[in-house]
Structure 1
């Protein structure tokens, strides 16, 4: 028979892989389900209440694990963005074997919220053993996490590996929702093959940019270099009417600096912006997640030069793919056309949604009113 209990996690110390100790913090956890087969599902209200090495061990051993599932990314979202965690874990005989990271986030232009796995970034359930039962337990538990204004659970899968779970998710009431895509560039054939696969416009942009006086530097990740990047990033996001993440989020990302690459470009001796890339060693992929190039440097082809540099860097460092990040699946969109010019393969962003309230059907029926605004 299933049992439900509520406990408070005690502070704990563990030895990290890099030799540093990390102390977990006081937090609340609630055991939601215990099965006859010995599996236990627990809800945590903070990632910091869980052992980092135990959590990351599941990520690293899972087929669908990524940098966005890692403890450090989730901690930055929690503490840097102030989002409310509702993380689920599955244990068997005291061993962590499955997890589903979640945050409660607002639904734009509505008074409602969604439970998202995960945002920003990508999430979804992971399991290392007893996969079918673990996945079933995680998805069956989700409705217990939704109440009040939280009307839907959304899973954002990183790539097509998550299609293995499609039938299970749909049997649990999840519906596919496709509106965004990514361009993923294959780096394994070498630079010449990548360059030849670009559009003539992108190739000319790189070549013309190289005729100018420019320098690209791999910056050390320090508070001053991060603050400089963030100032320009805020200006760029304001120009495109986007929501900029606060500096506090970027500061928390310093805890995973070994998985970050900060590039800056100078043109005619002046700072002309940069890229902050996420390095996903588990997927052998570089994610172009944050870009900060002011409009006044577009004519100098600063963006093309930065992309050219990071593509070469990825090839030199043995990465298989470069991911240009999310864009609307609309061929008339300027960002879509710009990224498409680099020759990457178009990949749909896999999203599944499951309503947890009758209000969700009302909201979903009117969702088209928000297009072309960003809903996800």
Structure 2
């Protein structure tokens, strides 16, 4: 699709993957969800069609636009699924409005383009390009601008420090997963958590795919008690930033504070290589929000920008939260092996 000012949106081809990776690695606002590792993991586990686009100017690639075709209520949603961020990455001298206009037009009549935005993206002009916006939650981002010991004493709330000490006193220890057997251990915790919440689960293959495709940029930590995993977190990294993308725990051991220990350990490990860690999306009114806030990160709003604007509801997560009272009662069916992953694929969040 041709854009004004000699810009053009073209489909990503195999020959262009090295250029895509170069742009992502060199861009200071890239995330794990802009990488081709994320794309490959999605393709291994889900039956989506890729809508990855390159922004080309006079034959030179000057930006990347990630996304997949997913199921929608009416037509198709074009979105980067299962993550917090899916905005374009552009070279500094590329105007964002013409690119956004092309993205808005790069869809069928009944399709919806959803762009998961964040304050750091520096994309401007969504309204001028024909997008509407909707709030989807918040995240906490902790700058790792000092040694972990200082963060522990200065940024963490007293309750965190107390619970980390309690976890150690209770005999919990943390190990890093190094093989697919460990991924299976984490998935079993994750599946039990989804069953408790009455929420459809990712297929097992997705977690194994993330482990394979991200390599050392996928870290899974397990909290052990007497050799048994009672909690875990899955962390994805790109460049100087890490994202705690998934977490799970056995509620029978919450009194031993495995989640506090896992988050503090994730932060400690990130301090060795990264400049910031993101705690992932949460609802402002939730208990998870209260938990994450204790670690001293800065709260930031998350927004989805939607075209056409009258379909802005397609970018909202509240439509799924309204079903919570129903799905809890249906949890055994919703999390059944062949039901949950297919429902998750359709929801794409």
Give TM-score scaled by structure 2 length.
0.82
Instruction: Determine the structure 2 residue equivalent to 1:67.
Output: 32
Confirm whether residue 350 of structure 1 aligns to residue 320 of structure 2. Answer: no
Asked whether the 8 Å contact 2:107–2:113 carries over to 1, the reply is no
Instruction: Determine the structure 1 residue equivalent to 2:139.
Output: 182
Deviations along 1:11-58, one digit per CA (max 9) or x if unpaired, are xxxxxxxxxxxxxxxxxxxxx3276x65332235xxx64532111112
Structure 1 residue aligned with 2:128, among 151, 167, 171?
Answer: 171
Q: Report the Cα distance in structure 1 between the residues aligned to 2:119 and 2:283, rounded to whole angstroms.
A: 18
Shift of 1:211: 0.7
Shift of 1:63: 4.2
Instruction: Determine the structure 2 residue equivalent to 1:14.
Output: none
Q: Report the Cα distance in structure 2 between the residues aligned to 1:155 and 1:173, rounded to whole angstroms.
A: 12
Q: Report the Cα distance in structure 2 between the residues aligned to 1:301 and 1:41, rounded to whole angstroms.
A: 49
Asked whether the 8 Å contact 2:143–2:276 carries over to 1, the reply is yes
Change (3 A) 1:51 1:225: farther
Instruction: Determine the structure 1 residue equivalent to 2:44.
Output: 79
Deviations along 1:188-212, one digit per CA (max 9) or x if unpaired, are 1223332233233222211111112
Instruction: Determine the structure 2 residue equivalent to 1:140.
Output: 102
Asked whether the 8 Å contact 1:289–1:325 carries over to 2, the reply is yes
Highest relative contact order (Cα 8 Å, sep 6+), 1 or 2?
A: 2
Deviations along 1:273-329, one digit per CA (max 9) or x if unpaired, are 321111222xx22211111211112111111111121121122x1322221111012
Considering fraction of residues, name the structure with more strand. 1
Instruction: Determine the structure 2 residue equivalent to 1:92.
Output: 57
Asked whether the 8 Å contact 1:206–1:304 carries over to 2, the reply is yes
| Structure 2 unaligned blocks of 5 or more | 325-346
Structure 2 residue aligned with 1:229, among 186, 190, 194?
Answer: 186
3-state SS in 2 of match to 1:169? coil
Between structure 1 and structure 2, the one with the greater Rg is 1
Asked whether the 8 Å contact 1:275–1:288 carries over to 2, the reply is yes
Considering fraction of residues, name the structure with more helix. 2
Instruction: Determine the structure 2 residue equivalent to 1:271.
Output: 229
Deviations along 1:86-145, one digit per CA (max 9) or x if unpaired, are 2221223443222211212235xx45542214543421112226511x651453243332
Asked whether the 8 Å contact 2:31–2:241 carries over to 1, the reply is no
Confirm whether residue 33 of structure 1 aligns to residue 11 of structure 2. Answer: no
Q: Report the Cα distance in structure 2 between the residues aligned to 1:368 and 1:205, rounded to whole angstroms.
A: 32
CA RMSD in angstroms comes to: 2.7
Change (3 A) 1:345 1:372: farther
Shift of 1:245: 1.4
Change (3 A) 1:63 1:268: closer
Confirm whether residue 252 of structure 1 aligns to residue 212 of structure 2. Answer: no
Match runs of 1:1-376 below 5 Å: 32-33=1-2, 38-44=6-12, 49-107=14-72, 110=73, 113-128=76-91, 130-132=93-95, 136-148=98-110, 150=111, 152-157=112-117, 159-162=118-121, 164-166=122-124, 168-196=125-153, 197-220=155-178, 222-253=179-210, 254-281=212-239, 284-315=240-271, 317-330=272-285, 333-355=286-308, 360=311, 372=322
Change (3 A) 1:193 1:305: same
